[in-house]
Amino acid sequence: MADFVQLWIYLSSTPLFGLTATIATYVVAQLAYERVGGAPWANPVLWSVAAIGVFLVATRTPYPTYFAGAQFIHFLLGPAVVALAWPLWLRGGEVRRRGVALTIAALLGGGAAAGSAVLLATWLGMPLEIIRSLAPKSVTAPVAMGIAERIGGVPALSAVFAVLTGMVGALSAKYLFDGLRIGSYAVRGFALGTSSHGIGAARAIQVDEDAGAYAGIALGLQVLLASILMPLVFRWLA
């Protein structure tokens, strides 16, 4: 027990703590995910976030202390998103042939995602800055934060809404697609990438290569279209 206490004191005072805790938690969650046959409710990202959150609260560990080590994994988010371009490269001809249709679908899907959130929040009487923070919820979190800042929202809230949106999509998409009898993995992937950005794309690529490729296309299109159009729309509305 004395050795364990000394190890805990050492890890909690160095960046190794956040790094070790994140990797160990995710490995356990991934093993459990594989053990139950990849069921959506067992998403390893969801359970890793929940477990680490409970652990930090229970041990009263400040978030900056944890993030001092976790930032090394956070840095890899950028290369991981860029890596989604590889399946697109393998399907370059197919993507070019469908370019116009995919762009229109992305525009309509992104508009529906943002518009429904704004209308629902307005109907519920939420404050204006929360409404503006909700608008980019279906864009990947770093971009959503930048958009929120430009349109008068709260970047931190937008990041939370984006992560929640991604998790809801990753957990519920399979059941929704099955209920709607949508069998095409390309369609499933594109819809998931449109509504649930990077987290949805990560889930899609675990299920099928076509789904992952089209989720990556949708993610990229949403980033591009939302970054350009959303500030213009809110400026026009103002």
Residue 98 is classified by DSSP as T
Instruction: Please report the pLDDT score of residue 12 as a whole number.
Output: 53
For the chain, give the percent of residues with pLDDT over 90: 2
CB within 8 Å of 204: residues ≥ 6 apart: 188, 189, 192, 193, 211, 212, 214, 215
Using CB atoms within 10 A of its CB, is residue 140 exposed (0-12), middle (13-18) or buried (19+)? buried
| For the ranges 64-68, 86-90, 203-207, 213-217, the one whose mean pLDDT is highest | 213-217
CB within 8 Å of 139: residues ≥ 6 apart: 110, 147, 162, 197, 222, 223, 226, 227
pLDDT tens-place string over residues 112-157? 988 888 899 889 888 888 888 888 888 887 788 888 888 888 888 8
pLDDT tens-place string over residues 94-103? 778 888 888 8
Instruction: Please report the pLDDT score of residue 227 as a whole number.
Output: 87
Using CB atoms within 10 A of its CB, is residue 89 exposed (0-12), middle (13-18) or buried (19+)? exposed
Give which of 153, 199, 219 is closest to 145, Cα–Cα.
Answer: 153
The whole-chain average pLDDT of the chain stands at 81
Instruction: Please report the pLDDT score of residue 13 as a whole number.
Output: 54
Instruction: Please report the pLDDT score of residue 129 as a whole number.
Output: 86
Q: What is the mean pLDDT of residues 198-208?
A: 79
Q: How confident is the model at residue 235 (pLDDT cuts 50, 70, 90)?
A: confident
Q: Which amino acid does the sequence have at 114?
A: A
Measured distance CA(180)–CA(30) in Å, rounded: 29
Give which of 163, 160, 109 is closest to 133, Cα–Cα.
Answer: 160
Q: Is the pLDDT of residue 173 over 60?
A: yes
Measured distance CA(31)–CA(10) in Å, rounded: 27
Helix axes 209-237, 185-207, angle to 10 degrees: 110
Q: Is the pLDDT of residue 15 over 70?
A: no
Q: Which amino acid does the sequence have at 26?
A: Y
Spans of all domains in the chain: 2-75, 83-237
pLDDT tens-place string over residues 40-89? 787 788 888 888 888 888 888 887 777 777 777 766 766 776 777 777 77
